[in-house]
Amino acid sequence: MSEYLPIDSSSLRTDTKIGCDLYLLVKTNADNRYILYCRGDAVFENAKRDMLLEKNISRLFIKKEDQQKYYEYLESNFQNIISDTRIPSDEKTKIIHSAAINLVKDLFNDPRAGNIERAKAFAYNMVDYVIKDSKAAENLLKIAVHEYYTYTHSVNVAAVGTLFAKDLGLEEDELKRFCTGILLHDVGKTKISTDILNKNGKLTSEEFAEIKKHPEFGTAILKETGNGFTDEYTITSQHHENYDGTGYPHGLQKEEIHRCGRIARIIDVYDALTTDRPYAKAIRPFAALVEMKDKMSNCFDKELFMRFIRFSGPYDPRKKQRNADKLHN
């Protein structure tokens, strides 16, 4: 197994220090060799970029042990990456998505104020990307990770939820608060035993009672940070409230549930059904929508659910409408 990891050279800004050594892969008949190209404490100059372009080199390599430094570099340069017209839209999406998963891993390993603030900054940048790039929606929906972990689930839900909320017409400021809240919606699970979270098979009543505490745990964690959250608390607290009042933790119903909470409920279930979980295999998107309609319709605001059906891909308006008509009948 190689001790080096590939990175996209387009993610690197000129006149910056990357913070980790960059290597070129040189292939020979005898073996593959990694040659130091730019030291982490040196400025990545225009000449370095130009040489890569001239040689049509799109990948550089970093040592596995430096992966965290590279992701920190990406986070600090997100705005520049988003605005750089030289980076293809699909490459931007890969960069943003991989950095997001790393960030949420850090958050779930250590849900302290600094990591929550990082998540908020990332969410704001994701919204900027969605607003600025016309291909963002298609790219983000394509790249979703279909293996369920709490952190990949959080990133998937944030991506799909933000796109859906934009489709519903949320304004930029509200969209940024929504994206932050839905990215953080499961942070309370950091207080739940991983043995319960990753259990293969049905939970006992005691285990499920413990799981049901995570919305309130999450709200408490956010309040401890003192970040002045508003909608973010609501989404964390309400993403398991059902429209008919059968949800948890407070048994809210209908308009008692904030609109952002009702949106989050739909997206949370949809992603869970369409990814491989410890106790169930993923099902296809249309099958997930059918299951949500036939077996869980009590959970959702019907009008929002029908809007989600029309929103969900593939990006063919005629097929969307046919699917919506099937599910409506």
Among 64, 92, 109, the domain boundary falls at 64
User: Within this chain, do residues 251 and 323 fall inside the same structural domain, yes or no?
Assistant: yes
If one counts every other C-beta atom within 10 angstroms of the C-beta of residue 196, the result is: 15
- 135-153: pLDDT as tens digits: 887 788 777 665 556 778 8
Whether 167 and 105 share a structural domain: yes
Q: Output DSSP code: residue 44.
A: E
The count of structural domains within the chain is 2
Both 110 and 12 in a single domain? no
CATH of the domain at 173: 1.10.3210.10
**pLDDT tens, position by position, 193-232:** 988 988 888 889 999 999 999 999 999 999 888 777 888 8
Is there a single domain that holds both residue 189 and residue 297?
yes
Helix axes 67-76, 89-109, angle to 10 degrees: 110
Of the three residues 14, 42, 64, the one that is the final residue of a domain is: 64
Side-chain-facing half-sphere of 312: CA atoms under 13 Å? 23
Residue 72 included in any domain:
no
- Say if residues 219 and 233 touch (Cβ distance below 8 Å): yes
Residues 49 and 171 in one domain: no
- Residue 69 belongs to some domain of the structure: no
Q: Is residue 221 domain-resident?
A: yes
Q: Which string of DSSP letters, residue by residue, matches 220-287?
A: HHHHHHT---SHHHHHHHHTT--TTS--SSS---GGGS-HHHHHHHHHHHHHHHTSBBTTB----HHH
| Residue pLDDT, tens place only, 21-64 | 999 999 877 788 999 999 999 999 999 999 999 999 989 999 99
Q: Are residues 148 and 220 in the same domain?
A: yes
Residues 112 and 242 in one domain: yes
Mean pLDDT (the chain) is 88
Range of the domain at 104: 77-328
- Same domain flag for 164 and 233: yes
4-12 mean pLDDT: 90
In a domain, 195, yes or no: yes
Q: Is there a single domain that holds both residue 55 and residue 135?
A: no
Asked whether residue 71 is assigned to any structural domain, the reply reads no
Rounded Cα–Cα distance for residues 184 and 175 (Å): 14
Helices marked H in 110-211: 113-132, 136-142, 150-167, 172-183, 194-197, 205-211
**148: in domain:** yes
Residue 131 sits in the same domain as residue 274? yes
Full-model pTM: 0.85
**Is the same domain home to 194 and 262?**
yes
Q: Are residues 173 and 263 in the same domain?
A: yes
